[in-house]
Structure 1
Amino acid sequence: MHKAIVVFEVEGGSDKYFNGHRKDTMPIVNSILDAGWHAEVVYFRPEWSEDIFTYVSENFDAYISRVNPGNIPSGEKVYFELLTRLSEAGLVGMSTPEEMMAYGAKDALVKLNETALVPSDTAAYYDVETFHATFPISLSYGERVLKQNRGSTGSGIWRVQIEDKELAASIVPGTPLPLDTELKCTEAVDNHTEIRQLGEFMNFCDRYIIGDNGMLVDMRFMPRIVEGEIRILLVGPDPVFVVHKKPAEGGDNFSATLFSGATYSYDSPEAWPELVEMFAAARPVIAEKLGGDDIPLVWTADFMLADAADGHDTYVLGEINCSCVGFTSELDMGIQEKIAAIAISRVEEKERALAHVDRGGHDGQELPLSH
């Protein structure tokens, strides 16, 4: 064992500080170093993929990906192939492409729409034809939110409502809306609103479906989003903190991003016991529906308030993310030390499992990791 962990980044992008790193990258690296292990940053470029594979596979036990896939739109496939090869070479991946796609893709919501976490009418469009045939019917039932798979910080997430309220009230649910129906479309990235005709807006949204990993998720608009979005940040299986993100007041604002003027407040998990307990109880179901319980190293689950049938508050899952979760505002909470500790423990656990096999204590199959 090398006792070494590499941290991947990409050059450029709006998430970088003046030193060229994400603000939360070097705290992770330094925490691994403080624990007595080696750690360093390696920048990914598609043309460097072979050399990176050789260098990393020969010198490191694990990788931590701190790459926002949106910053490498033309190289995402090559990057995922590199991470997969490194895992096949024996490195512990955090997070692997499989975890990112299972937990981080927007259609995770669709896979959970038979659970109490997500409204049952949540759908995903993987081709333009299905989108154009289905969305005019979906919108007849009321306001919707469309979410692109590739976006971050609210980009390509649209609240869609019929502009004419009298028309909206007169529509028979299940009746396809005419393509010239005027819509009010508000994008979460900055809460700006555009008036577009239905057909034109769908043509505009085709860009989100076309291309690798392209899709649109179609979800019911949750009116209580104006009260805020509640995010649980987890390191491995452990909730670390809960952040309440309240959109800026006024108009059709619904975005909970800092860019849009939302205000954030931070609490311990103990301050949200019902939500944390509900999510912990749902974890086995989430694992089953998303293809396994290889829990990401750093991940989040975002919830919105809703009204239960008995009038009490309940929570609706809006998104899970594990591709490149940021925590720059919470560095003083010691999250980087928790990340380093769990990353090191995962490498050591794999080494113990392999040593057990070498001693003839197993049937030749690698022991599963319990994260």
Structure 2
Amino acid sequence: MVEPDRHRFKVAILWRGDAQARAEARPETSRLAAVFAALKGQGIAAEPAVYSDELMDQVRDQLLPMDAVLVWADPIAGGLRRTALDRLLRHLASAGILVSAHPDVIGKMGVKEVLYRTRELDWGTDTHLYETAAAFEAQFPARVAAGPRVLKQNRGNGGIGVWKVEAAGAETVRVQEARRAAEPEVTSLAAFMSLCRDYFAEGGRLIDQPFQLRHLDGMVRCYMSGGQVVGFGRQLVRALAPPEAGPASPRLYSGPDDVRFQRLRGLMDQDWTPAMARRLDIDPAALPVIWDADFLLGPRTPEGEDSYVLCEINASSVFPIPDEAPAALAETLRQRLVERRNRRAADA
């Protein structure tokens, strides 16, 4: 039931852009048109809020009267990071505005370190964390000598700072970055580790996992709203694959009832997501209104079923999404806003 106008919630949807993009932004012509429509269907008044650091004052003034701000902004975009934006979002949250995803939540679950901190869940594998370049240079050579490894910088997107590394000979390695169109190359192990020192700047870290042998069998993306699965995406990935593997396939989307993934759905809804929230000290009500978890296929179980190895969690800018996801996102947001309003009324 749509609420009377006097009780309607006001929400801004934020994404990056310049002054012209901000002036021209319209709900019906944006890439998030389906999200705007779903929010309207829940009786939520939503408007675009195009952001850049240069437009900080305008955007802050627009957002302060809002009940919620939904954010689509990658951690790295065009060489820009989210430092100023995250500072603004924390300010808004401290003023009582619901921010999704909150930067502190992203800092716990939307970084590669989540692979290390949740490694003991059934989605985990032989994962290591290097907090300093010295630790990396001391420990990594023995691990890569034992088999191919995948290194991931803690914060990034688009395959930036994700490397497959395997021994190629005495003191040499074959390396390939997951960035699109990157080619494998052979270099000395010492030279590669020297290149990686930049990943430790400003408190950065590297995460180290074994290369998954079923990598070419495809990736399953599990779309979540809060603690519930709202859809899936299946794709043959070719990042970190040799050129002869051919091109990647398009990602094919499906709803939460896709029969192929009901075991994964049950694991995410009932086990893995609650366990992750406990381990990372995240209030379930603070889980993003839209996020996703990427899984590679691990070894088959004794019963012949697929196992799943967590590859990464995306919580900063999840799009595109399955057709079923906008309605679920809007319902999650409405429920949270109603609960917040009711708590405030009870405390008044």
TM-score, L = length of structure 2: 0.85
- Displacement, 1:215? 2.1
* Superposed counterparts of 1:166-177, under 5 Å: none
- Displacement, 1:232? 0.5
Asked if residue 352 in structure 1 is aligned to residue 342 in structure 2, the reply is: yes
The equivalent position to 1:262 in structure 2, one of 240, 249, 265, is 249
Give the counterpart letter for 2:108 in structure 1. Answer: A
Residue in structure 2 matched with residue 277 of structure 1 by the alignment = 266
Residue in structure 1 matched with residue 32 of structure 2 by the alignment = 25
> In structure 1, what is the Cα distance between the partners aligned to 2:344 and 2:112?
35
Residue in structure 1 matched with residue 156 of structure 2 by the alignment = 151
- Displacement, 1:357? 1.7
> In structure 2, what is the Cα distance between the partners aligned to 1:38 and 1:311?
49
Per the alignment, do residues 193 and 90 of structure 1 end up closer, same or farther by CA in structure 2, a change over 3 Å counting? same
Residue in structure 1 matched with residue 129 of structure 2 by the alignment = 124
Give the counterpart letter for 1:194 in structure 2. Answer: E
Sequence identity (%):
24
Per the alignment, do residues 261 and 308 of structure 1 end up closer, same or farther by CA in structure 2, a change over 3 Å counting? closer
* Superposed counterparts of 1:42-191, under 5 Å: 42-57=49-64, 59-71=65-77, 74-119=80-125, 121-164=126-169, 181-190=171-180
> In structure 2, what is the Cα distance between the partners aligned to 1:249 and 1:24?
25
Q: Any stretches of 5+ residues in structure 2 without a counterpart?
A: 1-6, 19-23
Deviations 1:335-365 (A, max 9, x none): 223322322222121001111222xxxxxxx
TM-score, L = length of structure 1: 0.80
- Displacement, 1:279? 2.0
Residue in structure 2 matched with residue 39 of structure 1 by the alignment = 46
Report SS of the residue matched to 2:142: helix
RMSD over aligned Cα, in angstroms?
2.9
Deviations 1:245-279 (A, max 9, x none): 113599636999xxx63343333433212111122
Give the counterpart letter for 2:315 in structure 1. Answer: C
Q: How many residues align?
A: 330
Per the alignment, do residues 31 and 309 of structure 1 end up closer, same or farther by CA in structure 2, a change over 3 Å counting? closer
Give the counterpart letter for 1:234 in structure 2. Answer: M
The equivalent position to 2:293 in structure 1, one of 301, 310, 322, is 301
Per the alignment, do residues 240 and 216 of structure 1 end up closer, same or farther by CA in structure 2, a change over 3 Å counting? same
Deviations 1:267-307 (A, max 9, x none): 34332121111222222211111112222111111112122
Per the alignment, do residues 51 and 20 of structure 1 end up closer, same or farther by CA in structure 2, a change over 3 Å counting? closer
Residue in structure 2 matched with residue 172 of structure 1 by the alignment = none
The equivalent position to 2:308 in structure 1, one of 310, 315, 318, is 315
Per the alignment, do residues 182 and 28 of structure 1 end up closer, same or farther by CA in structure 2, a change over 3 Å counting? same
- Displacement, 1:65? 0.5
- Displacement, 1:116? 2.1
> In structure 2, what is the Cα distance between the partners aligned to 1:340 and 1:90?
19
> In structure 2, what is the Cα distance between the partners aligned to 1:242 and 1:254?
28
Residue in structure 1 matched with residue 21 of structure 2 by the alignment = none
Report SS of the residue matched to 1:208: helix
Per the alignment, do residues 335 and 273 of structure 1 end up closer, same or farther by CA in structure 2, a change over 3 Å counting? closer
Q: Any stretches of 5+ residues in structure 1 without a counterpart?
A: 13-17, 165-179, 359-371
